[in-house]
């Protein structure tokens, strides 16, 4: 086996995806040998044309139920808009009668679904799989731009169209298909499996996953689950068609919405001061955008580890970036700094990966054109980098605002503390957590030799390499290169449930028609079937190997 330990070789060209590298250790494909005959039978089932049509119909039907979640939803049981989830439950229970009839079913906060398949060995810690039932609303002004209506669930022979077909009813229905298929084959797990389906991931998550996580922790205790699988990264060929890169996320960025509120004396606009409250706030917004957070590439962090994988195995990875990556791996700090800068220049997405991002999304102020505004505000959305923290973010924005406050003689209150600034004769500025939702960057899931990560990585490889057409595709192999998610998922509520959280959606990037959260969301039907195979293989591997 070739090893990526010699600088001269790996700086010139990538190594074969089946080789081993010290810089990006790879797991071998893992097939469920303990359940080999069962998986063979399932493979025949999944290839049957009639099964495929039933599977497509099941996903299409779920898409047809418009389970939109909104930021202003009231409590469950009071706001009538939640009731659409009851219709989805009716549909799922009718479509998968064996699943809901043979597994233990619990409802949490009315619309949160918990399915438990009790294993035969109570000494084994259970496994948790999650997905969410809700979708982002469809913008009414864009409905005419959809090729097929957004809640049609239309299948045109290749694509299944509609909101939720990618995010996240595809995972929801795929997991139910996997359970159903295993039940029909008479499978009886040794390990207990639990599926939990939230219903407001696209909003705050508090009514769904927030309640589900509390319920499950109460049932199984802190870190009572062996692992958890939720939506997240996918797979594709970002560095040439010869090698498939699968990118599960092992962590996710933190989160904080900061409100900047400026209060000044009012009056008639015919006698204005040099700077109104809106003008002062505008100066602060400009200063924030002029002082972005510094990017960082930390050895051992998720972005660094992913970069090593790309540099070692990516056939078309830029050679100058590859050279810097391998020098950095040997301890060259100058090369590490150069690698950081090259990543930002070469791959625009790394702007969001390597730094805490900030976006001024909300501005409010003024009530009348001839009245000076007395209170104005802006809300800045932040996604906190893996290497940073809520405290560092608060300090950064406080340090940015203070000189401007002093210029306008404003008193500053930053996150409950008085900060040295102006006298307050000009008014005051208050910095606060806008909605009380501050979230630190998540813990990073371990990837050691004997960790559950090895089961996940091996399952991903085995599912892709056993897929129809893989052997004739010309692809030389599969590399699993973990990264992080730059958004936030329901997993933020499950940190106390398990230390092994994986965010992965087994779908090729080319099997999404137009992505999620936009017009013409659609999933390629044949590609989505691979999600069912993955979920099935994952269950069998976890049951037989952990």
Please report, in range form, the residues annotated as the binding site for Zn(2+): 132, 167, 202, 230, 517
Binding residues: 132, 167, 202, 230, 517
Query: What CA–CA distance (Å, rounded) separates 328 from 115?
Result: 47
Exposed/middle/buried for 18, CB within 10 Å: 0-12, 13-18, 19+? middle
Q: In degrees rounded to 5, what are phi and psi of residue 259? A: -95, 130
Q: Give the DSSP letter string of 273-327.
A: -SS-HHHHHHHHHHHHHHSPPPP---TTSHHHHHHHHHHHH-TTS-HHHHHHHHH
Query: What CA–CA distance (Å, rounded) separates 38 from 541?
Result: 12
Contact 133, 197 (CB under 8 A): yes
Contact 80, 110 (CB under 8 A): no
Q: Mind telling me the catalytic residues?
A: 134, 201
Sheet holding 254-263, edge to edge: 357-365, 375-384, 254-263, 427-433, 410-414, 417-419
Contact 230, 502 (CB under 8 A): yes
Query: Which residues are paired to 504 by β-bridges?
Result: 233
Query: What CA–CA distance (Å, rounded) separates 337 from 340?
Result: 5
Contact 252, 444 (CB under 8 A): no
Would you give the distance in Å from CA 442 to the centre of its chain?
12
Query: What CA–CA distance (Å, rounded) separates 113 from 133?
Result: 9
Query: What CA–CA distance (Å, rounded) separates 159 from 56?
Result: 10
């Amino acid at each position: 086996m070739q090893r990526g330990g010699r600088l001269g070789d790996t700086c010139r060209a990538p190594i074969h995806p089946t080789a081993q590298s010290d810089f990006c250790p790879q797991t071998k494909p893992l097939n469920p040998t303990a359940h080999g005959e069962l998986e063979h039978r399932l493979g025949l089932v999944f290839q049957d044309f009639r099964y495929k049509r039933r599977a497509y119909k099941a996903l299409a039907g779920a898409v047809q139920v418009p389970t939109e979640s909104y930021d202003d939803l009231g409590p469950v049981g009071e706001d009538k808009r939640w009731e659409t989830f009851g219709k989805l439950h009716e549909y799922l229970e009718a479509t998968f009668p064996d699943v809901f009839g043979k597994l233990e079913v619990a409802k949490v906060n009315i619309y949160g679904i918990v399915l438990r398949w009790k294993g035969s060995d109570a000494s084994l810690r259970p496994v948790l799989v999650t997905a969410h039932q809700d979708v982002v609303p469809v913008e009414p002004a864009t409905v005419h731009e959809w090729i097929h209506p957004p809640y049609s669930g239309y299948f045109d022979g290749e694509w299944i169209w509609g909101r939720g077909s990618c995010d996240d009813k595809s995972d929801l229905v795929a997991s139910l298909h996997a359970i159903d298929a295993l039940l029909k084959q008479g499978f009886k797990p040794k390990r207990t499996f639990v599926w939990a389906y939230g219903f407001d991931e696209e909003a705050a998550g508090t009514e769904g996953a927030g309640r589900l996580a509390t319920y499950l922790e109460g049932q199984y205790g802190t870190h009572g689950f062996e692992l958890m699988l939720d939506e997240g990264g996918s797979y594709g060929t970002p560095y040439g068609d010869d090698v498939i890169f699968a990118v599960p996320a092992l962590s996710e960025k933190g989160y904080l919405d900061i409100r900047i509120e400026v209060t000044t004396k009012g009056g008639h606009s015919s006698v204005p001061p040099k700077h109104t409250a809106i003008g002062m706030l505008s100066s602060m917004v400009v200063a924030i955008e002029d002082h972005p957070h510094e990017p960082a590439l930390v050895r051992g962090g998720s972005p660094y580890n992913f970069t090593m994988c790309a540099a070692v195995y990516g056939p078309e990875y830029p050679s100058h970036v590859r050279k810097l990556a391998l020098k950095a791996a040997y301890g060259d700090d100058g090369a590490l700094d150069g690698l950081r800068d090259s990543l930002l220049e070469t791959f625009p997405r790394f702007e969001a990966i390597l730094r805490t991002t900030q976006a001024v999304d909300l501005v409010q102020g003024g009530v009348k054109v001839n009245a000076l505004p007395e209170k104005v505000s802006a809300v800045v959305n932040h996604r906190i980098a893996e290497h940073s923290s809520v405290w560092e973010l608060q300090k950064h924005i406080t340090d940015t605002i203070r000189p401007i406050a002093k210029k306008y003689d404003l008193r500053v209150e930053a996150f409950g503390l008085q900060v040295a600034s102006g006298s307050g004769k000009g008014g005051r500025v208050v910095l606060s957590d806008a909605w009380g939702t501050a979230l630190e960057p998540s813990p990073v899931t371990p990837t050691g030799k004997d960790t559950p990560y090895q089961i996940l990585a091996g399952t991903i490889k085995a599912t892709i390499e056993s897929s129809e057409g893989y052997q004739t595709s010309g692809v030389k192999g599969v590399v699993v290169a973990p990264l992080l998610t730059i958004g936030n998922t329901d997993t933020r509520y499950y940190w106390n449930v398990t230390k092994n959280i994986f965010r992965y959606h087994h779908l090729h990037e080319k099997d999404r028609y137009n992505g999620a959260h936009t017009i013409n969301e659609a999933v390629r039907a044949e590609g989505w079937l691979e999600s069912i195979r993955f979920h099935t293989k994952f269950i069998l591997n976890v049951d037989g190997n952990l």
